[in-house]
Structure 1
Amino acid sequence: MRNKLCMLAALACFALAPAAQAQTYFFVGPAGGDFFDEANWNTMSDGTGSIPAGDPIQDSTTNAITLDLIIDGDTVEAAGEVDFGPGSLTLLTGSMLSITGAGNDLDINSDSTFSFTGATLEVNDIINFEGTSTFSGGVVTSVTDDIVFQNQFISLIIDGTTFNAQDTVQFEGPTPGSIANAVFNVVDQFGLRDDGDGTANVVMTNTSIDIDANGSTSGGDIQNVFSGDAIGSSLTLLGASTLRADAVEEGADLILGGTSVATLGVHFEERITADGSTITMLTPGAKLNVVALDNLAAEYVDSRPFLINGITGVDYATDPSTWNVTNWDGFSAVSLQIVPEPGTSMLALAGLALFGMRRRR
């Protein structure tokens, strides 16, 4: 019995002991040096320390990287897949990491950390972010495929970074943190969905989204991207955000606040909403520009019942009197904004009058 108690106590102490931290290594190799060459990494930024023992920085088709790697102003090439889990990757100002070769991607997994400041990241294939991912400035590009913000984030903070996706940008679940001053250039679709850990309710401030980045003649929707629906997911644009797209579909919702401007139907489409998706205007300063729609097309959708005045909670079809254009036919080109309710305007005028009286005294 005593031996069992001692063993349990030892196990308890082991469980409570702090987890060992991964060793940190700096890239010290030549410009354009090989990411997977351990000789290019050192425990000291000036190269006077030690290099990683063994072969821990492998093409991730073999093993995930568990070290903490820092690139500080260097240009580095990885001709293979790069997969962190656990471990971390930090790209500091002026750094450039190119992951080259057909099908090679970057995976920042749920137990990993990614820090990106004023750097350049180019990946041939898919880029997957998860865990703790922090972006400040710089440019992230998927040369041939998607940029995916997956469904197990501890924290996602984006401030001033440009994301270029040759295919789609996807948000697969909750995104704790903040997204501001960013740019998303997307060639195909903008995905919102629940990938098993909750719906993607994404809020962006002072951010630009262009879902027609290469001037293509198709694509450009906010939707699930895959075969399922996007019910319960939403994209909220605040501040002075902008959006260019065709439609909001598959149950996803678009919410516009601040002075955000959304331009929909950019390919002379037959609809700007579908499958029960709604567009909600939170503030009089927000604007919805609709390019002329093809109302004779078989898939034409009259979106007026799905345009919601966020102040009154009433849709355009039910009460167009609270919109700046009260006779929109549902398909002609138009620029729509909600107008303050008369009561709100009267209160504002009364407040101004009272302020004037106080000034005169």
Structure 2
Amino acid sequence: MKRIYNVCAALACGAWCALAGVSSDAAFFYFVGPAGGDFFDEANWNDQPDGSGSSPIGDAIPDSTTGAIAIDLVIDGDTVEAAGQVDFGPGSLTLAPGSMLSITGLDNDLDINDDSTFTLVDATLSVFDIANFEGVSVFVGGSVTSVTDDIAFQDNFANLTIQGTAFSAVDNIYFDGFNGLIRDASFVSGDRLGVRNMVDVTMTDTFLEIASGSGDIDDVFSTDGAGSVLTLLGASTLIADSVEEDALLVLGGTTVANMGGQGERITADGSTITVTSLGVVLNVSPITTDTRGQLINGLTGLSYLDDPSAWNVPDWNGLDAVSLSLIPEPAAGMLMASACVAGLAARRRHG
């Protein structure tokens, strides 16, 4: 039985609508069609959740071959299929808890553009081709899957908020832009994780697996990731091969990073790995390229090659398997105590 409620009120009494920039007074159209019904059939949508109102007039829900969607659509617990390209203009799409939207068919993708709003809460989104997100995109729980291609976070975000959502792509997951929050999420990419166009992405308590540990963090589409940064904080986990193409990887909190899956290197092309916390663990598989000069102690700014004594394994040759972490500097109090003991000993010798 269809749940009947105003979706904005259901999502934390309008808090998510405010976050997404959607007015709670907007004229929403709710999916009221059969299970597995056609997304593009206007008769399956109604301005009342129980279907007692009116459907959109004309071709208000076109596939992208004829135009972009400019109205506000809500799927509130239904299973819906879109056998075409879903392209949003100034409209919005909300997937409420229990909903499932499947965009099916060759080359059919989802485009949430820079003037669009997208909200997913404990729902399932499956896109046969590329899932593109821009504008205002809010994810809370649930999952997003690209069946054959990429998940792309494009460059024009008013707000990107991700909390507890699982993203999976057969090909790449990449960020051209970022403005918001990523926490308690997971990203599983079949090829690479891209950070592009000088983007600075921070993820907290997040799981990342790139090509089962054999994929890289890089630009994806060119060889220039210079100025792009991926920072992992909290209890994050990274399973990857290396960071390349001038992209920068920063590890903080109690992040565990497992790298070197292809057995060659953990950095390349000017990229660095910076460890900013004593709680970080970097597990390196046996590799053939020594990149100790690109492994940076973020507390001192010195590389492993410059100061290996700051690490728990000070004699690593840069090639063998190792589990690395920073060690604490001697506390000032301990140094003073040592000086006092030395001074007393000197007095006794001369007394």
Q: Does 1:262 align with 2:257?
A: yes
Which amino acid in structure 1 is aligned with residue 296 of structure 2? I
Q: Kindly tell me the number of residue pairs found equivalent between the two proteins.
A: 315
Matches within 5 A, 1:1-361: 23-173=27-177, 175-194=178-197, 199-213=198-212, 220-268=215-263, 270-293=264-287, 295=288, 300=289, 302-343=290-331, 346=334
Write the deviation string for residues 33-66 of structure 1: whole angstroms up to 9, x where unpaired: 0000000000000000000111110111210000
Which amino acid in structure 1 is aligned with residue 77 of structure 2? G
- What secondary structure does 1:247 align onto? coil
User: What is the Cα deviation at residue 212 of structure 1?
Assistant: 2.0
Percent identity between matched residues is 61
Which amino acid in structure 1 is aligned with residue 42 of structure 2? E
User: What is the Cα deviation at residue 205 of structure 1?
Assistant: 0.4
Which residues of structure 1 form unaligned runs of 5+?
1-18, 351-361
Write the deviation string for residues 302-344 of structure 1: whole angstroms up to 9, x where unpaired: 2100111011111000110000000111110000101121246
User: What is the Cα deviation at residue 346 of structure 1?
Assistant: 3.7
Write the deviation string for residues 81-116 of structure 1: whole angstroms up to 9, x where unpaired: 000011000000000000000000000000000000
- What secondary structure does 1:97 align onto? strand
Runs of at least 4 residues of structure 1 off by over 3 A? 343-350
Which residues of structure 2 form unaligned runs of 5+?
1-22, 339-351
What's the C-alpha RMSD, in Å, of the aligned pairs?
1.8
Distance 1:47 1:142 in 2: 31
Write the deviation string for residues 158-183 of structure 1: whole angstroms up to 9, x where unpaired: 0000000000000012x111000001
- What secondary structure does 2:309 align onto? helix
Name 1:4's counterpart in structure 2: none
Q: TM-score, normalised by structure 1?
A: 0.84
- What secondary structure does 2:74 align onto? strand
- What secondary structure does 1:54 align onto? coil
Distance 2:55 2:337 in 1: 71
Which amino acid in structure 2 is aligned with residue 233 of structure 1? S
Query: Structure 1 107/305 Cα, relative in aligned 2: closer, same or farther at 3 Å?
Result: same
Distance 1:158 1:89 in 2: 16
